[in-house]
Amino acid sequence: MSSPKQAAAVETKLTGGHRACAGCAFPIAIKEVLSSCKYPVVVVNATGCMEVTTTIFPFTAWKVPFLHNAFENSAATCSGIEGAYQSLKKQGKIDKNIKFVAFGGDGGTYDIGLQSLSGAMERGHDMMYVCYNNEAYMNTGVQRSSATPRGSSTTTAPAGKVINGKQQNPKDLTEIMVAHNIPYVAQTTVGMWPDATKKFEKAFEITGAKFVNIYSPCIPGWGIETSQTIKLSKLVVDTCMWPIYEVENGKYKINYKPATKLPVTEFYKTQARFKALLKDEAQIKLIQDWVDAKWARLQLMEEATNKA
């Protein structure tokens, strides 16, 4: 398992000088992924913050083969490249062990790219899809996505006199991926480097389709200071709003259980997007009950799938 110090010794595959916001989480996520791979790797990236800030023509921050495609088809493009690679191997035209990674934000993964993601996972392509989840369409103006948490104020679900932001709970895409019966599915966060790199290292060694959902705070979209990225990506885990777990061949494993489970308000009060929600005790109770029920279910799934 790589540590931040060990990863720093590995040649960086994402250079500095890109245009991501100060404090942005996705460059951390990229480094956690790529520093965990000891093989040649090809990266495919959906349109979004990650793509537009790292590949402003005629420059690129990527030091690996990189392909930008449309918002909706990162997984499909990656599966096509992987399919071509398998064909070349069978023909004896290539003998390298190459890995394939598709990146997408929550907008390009939970929503616009869900169809192509589902297809690639169902077909079982030997690739890893990484969703950097910042909980809204941040690149195009902070519109709500199906990953946006209930009570978060966005430009398309703004807090006002009638409602206090988005009125629906977020889609559980990680569990949707588990339902595809692929070899490996995981949730992690940029703030827990050892957990993230351990999962990426494991995924790169597994043959078949893999999906990792990594929590990725957004400075302007959340209304937080640039220094708070790591702190908040850990705090959300201690509230159990974003459990850290993995599902390998159908078996659940919770990788981190808070010694003291914090109330969701501890997370909400750190961000401007939840300012209106904090005044609505009834809504907060509904959310807390929902989080508690999901955490209880996850623990039951761990117990049930690991019985001898």
Percentage of the chain modeled with pLDDT above 70 = 96
Q: What is the pLDDT of residues 122-148, one digit of tens each?
A: 999 999 999 999 999 999 999 999 999
Residue numbers of the domain that contains 189? 4-305
- Choose between 86 and 16: higher pLDDT: 86
Which residues lie below 8 Å from residue 80, measured CB to CB, with a gap of 6+? none
Q: Is the pLDDT of residue 9 over 90?
A: no
- Note the pLDDT of residue 1: 56
Q: Is the pLDDT of residue 3 over 60?
A: no
Locate tokens 């993601």: which residue?
A: 117
Where do we find the tokens 């302007």? 220
How far is the C-alpha of 252 from the C-alpha of 152, rounded, in Å? 29
Is the model's pLDDT at 290 over the cut of 90?
yes
156 pLDDT higher than 90:
yes
Residue 10: predicted pLDDT: 65
Average pLDDT of the chain to the nearest whole number: 96
Beta strands in 173-244 (DSSP E): 184-189, 210-215
Vertex 131 angle, CA 197 and 21, to 5°: 85
pLDDT in tens, 260-272: 999 999 999 999 9
Q: What CATH number corresponds to the domain at position 166? A: 3.40.50.970
Over the range 279-307, which residues count as b (16 or more CB within 10 Å of their CB) and which as e? ebeebbeebeeebeebbeebbebbeeeee
Residue 154 dihedral angles phi and psi, to the nearest 5°:
-130, 175
pLDDT digits (tens, 9 = 90+) for 183-230: 999 999 999 999 999 999 999 999 999 999 999 999 999 999 999 999
Q: Report strand pairing: 128-133 vs 210-215.
A: parallel
User: Residue 221 burial (CB < 10 Å; 0-12/13-18/19+)?
Assistant: buried
Report the number of distinct structural domains present in the chain.
1
pLDDT band of 5, cuts 50, 70, 90: low
Q: Is 136 exposed, middle or buried (0-12, 13-18, 19+ CB in 10 A)?
A: buried
**Over 80: is that where the pLDDT of 11 sits?**
no
- Is the pLDDT assigned to residue 244 strictly greater than 90? yes
What's the rounded Cα separation, in Å, for the pair 232 and 236? 6
